[in-house]
Structure 1
Amino acid sequence: MDEMHPTNVHLRQVEQMLLCVQEFHVGHLSLGGLVSNLEFLWHHLQESSDLDLREVQDLIHQLEVLYACQLEGLMDAEDGRQQLLTLLNSLEGWLCTLQVWPELQTRLAEARRWCQLKFDLSDPVHSLRNRVLSPAGSTELDSGSLLSRETVEVLVSKRRGLLDTVEAEVSTEDFQGRILLVLLEQDTGCGEGLLASGGIIDASFLPPWDTWLAWIPLPYRDPVLLAWIPSPLLMDVQKAMEVSASQCLWWLEDVDPEETNPTLLQLRKALLNSSQEPAGASSANLKKGEA
């Protein structure tokens, strides 16, 4: 890919912003220097990306306000430190997400290909929970204990490497499914989805790990896990949706188009055109409570 391709420019700006945050954490950059560098890089990022970057802009603005308050002595030192750590944590999460964004469709294609290779209708619970991709420390039917962005990134990398060793061409044209959105902090911990789905959804309300695509932070809301669910498992996942008291599972296309969170809207735009729905599985007949 050409070095000046918009995707490469986008990734380079994001990497430089992350580096600035890391330099601040180790004491090589002052807060004023951090704010100045982030402002400069953000403007270049905005010019090279067609994404809605309001969340990043808002976080940088909050850092500016915090820095100004510290200069004026208007904030308690401990309160300021806690607010700073919270803002930097949110900013780092968003920048890591922006690194993933350009390859979401690639991840979707890889998950579909992997699932077609591994899925066994006679053993749907275990065939998409392959040991080689198992998150460290997870059990067969409770994979949520160590779930994090890093866990998902390691899994995606392993799956990509294993697919590179598969010589046979696999057509996914007829192997369809839907994209599942899991609100990670809304699980009640009761495990009701495990029984309702016959084990397809585990005790932490997570789908089989072979289906995972990305871990996405949402500002001021719970982070989400994206997964691609093959059509034979749609009704099992739907049953788990219907018993979830916290409504932590959603089909991506069922996110309200009037939703004000730009991240969710961009996820719809980035992924739904590449994920074909199986016949009879439109959002009209598979919305919550309408199996």
Structure 2
Amino acid sequence: MNSKELFTEDLSKFTILIVDDNEDILDFLRDDLEERYTVLTATSGNEALLQLEEQIVHLIISDIMMPGMDGLEFCDYIKSNFELSHIPIVLLTAKNSLQSKIEGLDAGADAYIEKPFSPEHLNAQVASLLNNRMKLKDYFANSPLTHIRTMAHTRMDEQFLEKLQQLIESNLSNTLLDVEFLAQQLNMSRPTLYRKIKSISDLSPNEMINLTRLKKAAAMISEGHHRMNEIAETVGYSSLTQFGRNFHKQFGMTPTDYIKKMGH
């Protein structure tokens, strides 16, 4: 498989929400993007917000000029809303002025495209934003010592991820540690927590808990003065074999290989 095929295949799991009050533009964009992505549409900012309550959306494309809540207000709302702030936004505008670009970037837009635009340009911009996020997620999941905040794109998300990690790490030996427990501690509904973690990391809450266990184990191994059974027990494994198997599956090496790699 060449890299282009891999690129396309990986991106097919993403959902894009297009927001525009012009039905013709909505249809045009949907037809163009549906070959690669799952596409949702909305004709207003308020309708888009209802969709975002129900769906995991990975990227938003929004027109600026809309009645009611315009694209700048919509973008500003998304970027200042804790549950949604991680979603990248591409703003479309007919305005060809520096001032409107500055307003868009002030509202937190991740990219800005002027109308009329070529579908190729929009596709390239969308693919670039999604691909960069995907690389960060993969890097976090596969690198034993990479910190959780590498996946954050806003200060709000950085604070959320650090709080999430601290909460999991301080409860590694707690048999009640699951998505229900995390949702209660973070004062969030279970579906909201699931959507937030899944969108930022591509992991379910349970996968995030398991990965945090293994990363804590990797950090303890790197310190070089803990016995393996002590590490396994500390991060919540009663079986050393199961711990070794999960570590290998996640990081592509056994704990013993990792010890050698760290030079201990």
TM-score normalized by the length of structure 2: 0.33
TM-score normalized by the length of structure 1: 0.30
- Considering fraction of residues, name the structure with more helix: 2
Higher relative contact order (CA 8 A, sep 6+): 1
